[in-house]
Amino acid sequence: MLASSECDCMYIDANASTGKLDAIALIQYPFRMTATDEMALWARFLRTGRTVLAAVEGELKAAGLPPLEHYDALLELRRAAPGGLRPKALEARMLLAQYGISRLIDRLVRDGLAERRPCLEDRRGQIVTITPAGEALLARMWPVYRAAVARHFRSRLDPDTAAGLERALLRLSAPPGPD
């Protein structure tokens, strides 16, 4: 059995039956956490992220828009304009995990949202750039995406909880310190 540890605890819970975010709270005092508690917290964290993401995706779909991965890729291509990005660089910049980057790029190109051109430094490679149609899609997706994030995430956090969540996420994304 793993030893318990002292930590700041962020409690996040998604109701599995309704898919709704039930609670977010940050307990900011050290306490003893068992290995079972740690795994339950980890599961809540993953489940909540999946629940909120699914709600945002659902709003995009209801508005007749493509999945969030399209927005994510097109935004990164716009940020890299006019030079574009190599597929691996695009994948590295995306917020969402993207294991099928080639298939995503194929869909974007097929739909006229992006285009490929040869990489001048490496003739075997390619550069992907956003097209005017891709720019227009970003403009149509943004208000729906922003409103969905506000509705399913930000509106459920009071300022203190949002600040605590920000601190916890910064701590989680930082390189681990010495043991």
56-87, pLDDT tens digit by residue?
999 999 999 999 999 999 999 999 988 999 99
Q: What's the one-letter identity of residue 97?
A: A
Greater confidence (17 vs 50) lies with 50
Helix (H), strand (E) at residue 13: strand 5-14
Cβ contacts of 148 within 8 Å, gap of 6 or more: 55, 56, 59, 60
Q: What is the CATH number of domain 68-147?
A: 1.10.10.10
pLDDT digits (tens, 9 = 90+) for 107-158: 999 999 999 999 888 778 899 999 999 999 999 999 999 999 999 999 999 9
Cβ contacts of 160 within 8 Å, gap of 6 or more: none
Cβ contacts of 9 within 8 Å, gap of 6 or more: 26, 27, 31, 33, 41
The overall pTM is greater than 0.75: no
pLDDT band of residue 53 (cuts 50, 70, 90) is: very high
Which residue has tokens 């390189």?
Answer: 175
CA distances from 145 to 77, 96, 106, 150, 165 (A): 18, 14, 23, 9, 21
Greater confidence (21 vs 128) lies with 128
Domain ranges of the chain: 5-63+154-173, 68-147
pLDDT band of residue 33 (cuts 50, 70, 90) is: confident
Give the percent of the chain with pLDDT over 90: 60
Is it the case that residue 39 has pLDDT exceeding 80? yes
Is it the case that residue 3 has pLDDT exceeding 70? no
CA distances from 100 to 65, 73, 91, 107, 172 (A): 20, 12, 9, 11, 26
